[in-house]
Structure 1
Amino acid sequence: MRRILRLALAMTLSAGTLVALGGTSPPALALNNGLARTPQMGWNDWNSFGCNVNDGLIRQTADVMVSSGMAAAGYKYVNIDDCWSTRSRNASGDLVADPQKFPSGMKALADYVHGKGLKIGIYSSAGLTTCAGYPASLGNETRDANLWASWGIDYLKYDNCGDHQGRTAQQRYTAMRDALAATGRPILYSLCNWGQDSVWTWGAAVGNSWRNTGDIQANWNSVMGILDSQVGLESYSSPGAWNDPDMLEVGNGLSGTESRAHFSLWALLNAPLLAGNDLRSMSAETRGILTNSEVIAVNQDWGGRQGHKISDNGNLEVWRKPMADGSVAAVLLNRGGGTATVSTTAAALGLGAGTSYSVRDLWAHTTGSSSGTVSASVPAHGAAMYIVSGGGTPPTATALRGVGSGKCLDVTGASQTSGTATQIWDCNGQSNQQWTLNGAGELRVYGSKCLDVYNRGTANGTAVIIWDCNGQSNQQWRANSDGTITAVGAGKCLNVPNNGTTNGTKVQIYDCNGGANQRWTRA
């Protein structure tokens, strides 16, 4: 089976955050190595070459990644998959690059790739052997991580093959996370355990991405089967921590129409965009698909919201992704064998009421307008992709003043660090008191941080903090007609404890009671 790699550092909250929360260090909620803040983009040799990997292929691919415009479009990782090493470790216990395949060694190859302005990835497995039977890293995590760091490796795809020696997936993948972190080198860590062990529930604390499915194959049925397995997983995805439905098969046996649909959907899913074709011989059509800057922009949107399915009518589906600027990306998918009309509405896409909407076709690169219906004639195995915007005045930032306290909802110390507690403070109009309630139910501050119920808590008194916006229910809020604000995930209200009025009183959630300490107005 195939795999993908990436490095992870264990996340800990800053000392300032701990002081703000007034507690001891909580368990790690997400990896925070500063990598993959948007889904990683690059190339992997496995889909086209399997074990036929060598120094020349990697150098030539790096060259073409630059000359074809892919690097300029955002692709930067050139990743080596299985079969790169000798069949056994050396006398010192180290992995050895196959001298026939890589005569100059991995350090020289990494230097070459870096010289192109790109990054390089390597592969191993969380077992005793790789999927192709080469030595893997279980029990040798520290040794191997240090070796890769010495070579200048930037990305680790970590598979699930080989004897696991009775250790759980979390134990095995966490051991490599810690070994990579200890090297001090930023290495993107991609978990590849094929969607086993409900990896999406713990992957964010361990890796930058996690495979949530079996291997993709270069045919339409495989692409659609993997798409189906993504339903319901969107809440686990966030900046630095991505669901991974496997590499792209664009240009590998799929038709141009199928390839455009595949690329559109993977972009909407915030999937890592890892090309799997032979870049050296790709057609102009394939290159055009992989470098479509408007589709890539949906994938790389800084808000980090993963798309999800909103309509399923047999072979006709509609998928939507909220964008950071308040617009919505939509994919109208036709899985069937003949041309069909696929439609949705601005309301279904989550846009506000209005009489006119802008509709940008991301493949035709044209802009039209609509009174509310978005529709396309879509060929068999095809998809249309749009950015739809409009529907009233975009939400604006405002201060939220507590009715009981007369003070404003405030980010402690004007910090922009995830995990910082919120409090009440004299209203001052500063950016740490400016909140935007958008159509997704998020209360945003600083543009990219969301009001967040700590650790998805539901208990009375759970702290309310700021965190990178991730679309999860503990970051969704509902403004009620009586002035209360309900945390959707917990079903409790934004609350100033003990009817406090003192600057610095920390905000929490509590059973809704309609009291003045739970009611808020726009300041």
Structure 2
Amino acid sequence: MYTSQMIKDGVTSSKMFYFRRAILTVFFTLLLHEANLLENGLARTPPMGWMSWGYYMCGIKCEGNESKCLNEQLIMSVADSFYRDGYQEAGYEYIIVDDCWSERARDEHGKLVADRKRFPRGMKFLGDYIHARGLKFGMYTNIADVTCMRYPGSKQYLSLDAHTFAEWGVDYLKVDGCFVSEDFLNVGYIMLGQYLNMTKRPMVYSCSWPYYIEFIHKKQPDYQVISKYCNMWRNFHDVQTSWEALAGIVQHYRRGYRDMAPHHGPGQWNDPDMLIFGTGVLTRSQSRIQLAVYAMLSAPILLSCDMNKITQYEKTLLQNLDLIAVAQDPLGIMARPYMFNGVIVWIKPHLPKKGDAYPSFSFALVNLDIEDSHVNLTPGLYGLNSTDGYTVLDVFSGHYLRNLTTKDTLSLLVPGQDVIMYTMYPL
């Protein structure tokens, strides 16, 4: 099957020989070193940080459009903002440069080259700048011959590119899957992951594998396999800067819970894509919904915006340590959704525990409709088992509201397009 696919892709017989040899090499390496491939020790909690794509996209037209320019100054300014404005202390650490960062052609040695005009000092300089502030550096490639925006891809250069990223000090690699056959998706991600491991540099491996399998090739993703080879993976469409796109993401994860949850946990995360804070498209209540749902899902929390446009309210949400504690809980459990009177109630057990038997629980009651909705909720029906009861924290206000027993019922009014989020700690 590889021969026919390679012919379709226009690969020469010489390249085909090396490609087939690479597949055999990786296959036998996997047999010998499967444990190393399945567990690289990274992303024990979901990554938090910033990624360029959602807001800046392919920002190459910089003259007269400096505010949307993807360049060295932008990435340095994000690092400075994280370091200066409290984001680093709250857990945000990865700064990730997405597509359109490179020259249109590789150099004479076949290596990727940063755009000389927008990144004049190169990616090693940028990585060093980020690392000097105690932060981590992320980059992007695609496992096709070209990236989604037609810059050089990694398909014929998997080993070389892995070592190049390692030399540049990359800590996180986002790998796209545009223009890739189903057959190559199912081997290319495994091959590149193995080459990354061979560099001996720890790099979080972020795949788009299941998205392309499901939405481009119309097949059911095999999460059992995907979760063995990637630290995180995108399941759904690129987030757009609109409330409708965000509501679609929430519903997708509600519907897909049974398929996704069994393969989700420390080192292996479903990725609902970036936050759209700092873009002016969400109301305060809609912003609460996005952050609450991502925290309940144990999802990566990656901003994509002009950091100077984050409102003070959004900043307060993003640095709410009670909410981040739920998002970054070491157990990494993906909250289970239930429907009550049109409201999605996400329920998640997490630390701290009282002894070994009584975990804490968080409840997020999410109303995507415009009308208010009443919900009567008896938390004790959903796993709460502490005989001494619980104390209830309103996560957004930071106030403790009351104590309750496992038999008590909460009668709640959930406003339209808003969320109520409580954490219940065992007494």
- TM-score calculated relative to the size of structure 2: 0.82
Which residue is 2:197 aligned to?
181
Distance 1:375 1:49, change over 3 A: farther
| Cα deviation, residue 202, structure 1 | 1.6
Aligned to 1:373: 409
| Residue number in structure 1 paired with 2:19 | none
Counterpart for residue 381 of structure 2: 348
Contact 1:200 1:212 in 2 (8 A): no
Match of residue 208 from structure 1: 231
Distance change (3 Å), C-alpha of 1:353 and 1:65: closer
Kindly indicate whether residue 129 of structure 2 is the aligned counterpart of residue 112 of structure 1.
Answer: yes
Post-superposition offset of 1:116: 0.8
Higher-Rg member (1/2)? 1
Q: Deviation per CA, 1:197-247: give whole Å up to 9, x if none.
A: 315232221111011112112222222222222222211101111111111
In structure 1, the partner of 2:188 is 172
Change (3 A) 1:79 1:199: farther
| Whole-Å separation in 1 of the counterparts to 2:308 and 2:414 | 31
C-alpha deviation, 1:339, in angstroms: 2.4
Contact 2:37-2:197 within 8 A present in 1 as well:
no
Distance (Å, rounded) in 2 between the aligned partners of 1:69 and 1:175: 38
Q: Distance in 1 between matches of 2:231 and 2:75?
A: 23
Q: Distance in 2 between matches of 1:313 and 1:218?
A: 28
Find the counterpart in structure 2 of residue 226 from structure 1: 249
* Residue 35, structure 1, aligned to residue 42, structure 2: yes
Distance 1:188 1:85 in 2: 21
- Pick aligned residue for 2:336 from 285, 305, 308: 308
Instruction: After superposition, give the CA deviation of every residue in 1:270-296 in whole Å (9 maximum; x if it has no partner).
Output: 101111122122110111111111111
Unaligned runs of 5+ in 1: 1-9, 11-23, 392-523
Match of 1:243 among 257, 264, 270: 270
Cα 1:361–1:223 shift into 2, 3 Å: same
> Is contact 2:102–2:151 with CA below 8 Å preserved after alignment?
yes
Deviations 1:75-128 (A, max 9, x none): 000000000001111111111100011011111111111111101100001111
Letter in 2 for 1:339: D
Q: CA deviation at 1:375?
A: 4.1
Partner Cα distance (1:113, 1:382) in 2: 36
Does structure 1 retain, via aligned residues, the 8 Å contact 2:97–2:138? Answer: yes
1:21-66 deviation digits (Å, cap 9, x = unpaired) = xxx9796597311110011111001111111210000000100011
User: Is contact 1:29–1:204 with CA below 8 Å preserved after alignment?
Assistant: no
**In the TM superposition, what whole-angstrom CA distance separates every residue of 1:332-380 from its partner, at most 9, and x where no partner exists?**
1111112223342122331127574311110010112234223432221
Match of 1:386 in 2: 422
Contact 2:43 2:231 in 1 (8 A): yes
Normalised by the size of structure 1, how large is the TM-score?
A: 0.67
Partner of 1:383: helix, strand, or coil? strand
Question: Would the alpha carbon gap of residues 316 and 107 (structure 1) be closer, same or farther in structure 2, given more than 3 Å must change?
Answer: same
SS in 1 for 2:209: coil
Deviations 1:426-457 (A, max 9, x none): xxxxxxxxxxxxxxxxxxxxxxxxxxxxxxxx
Q: What's the RMSD between the two structures over aligned residues? A: 2.1
Q: d(CA) in 1 for partners of 2:423 and 2:377?
A: 13
Which residue in the other structure is 2:140 paired with?
123
1-structure distance, mates of 2:271, 2:350:
20
Q: How many residues align?
A: 367
Name the structure where helix makes up a greater proportion of residues.
2
**Which residue of structure 1 lines up, in the alignment, with residue 287 of structure 2?**
259
1:61, 1:280 within 8 Å by CA — same for their partners in 2?
A: no
Other-structure match for 2:361: 328
* 1:403 counterpart residue number: none
Corresponding residue of 1:490: none
Structure-1 residue corresponding to 2:322: 294
Contact residue 163 and residue 196 of structure 2 kept, 8 A:
yes
Corresponding residue number in structure 2 for 1:487: none
Once the two structures are superposed, residues 304-342 of structure 1 have per-residue CA deviations (whole angstroms, 9 ceiling, x without a partner) of 211110x21353121101113201111011111122233
- Partners of 2:341 and 2:53 in 1: how far apart? 33
Moved over 4 A (4+): 24-30, 353-356
Separation in 2 of the partners of 1:72 and 1:358?
A: 27
Structure 2 counterpart of 1:94:
111
Counterpart Cα distance in 1 of 2:411 and 2:78: 39
CA distance in 2, matches of 1:376, 1:46: 38
- Partners of 1:199 and 1:40 in 2: CA distance: 23
The answer to whether the 8 Å contact 2:43/2:267 transfers is yes
Gaps of 5+ in 2: 1-25, 60-69, 214-220, 354-358
Q: Please identify, of 96-105 and 247-256, the stretch whose mean Cα deviation from structure 2 is larger.
A: 247-256
CA distance in 1: counterparts of 2:37 and 2:127, whole angstroms: 29
Aligned to 2:305: 277
Q: Give the share of equivalent positions with the same residue, in percent.
A: 35
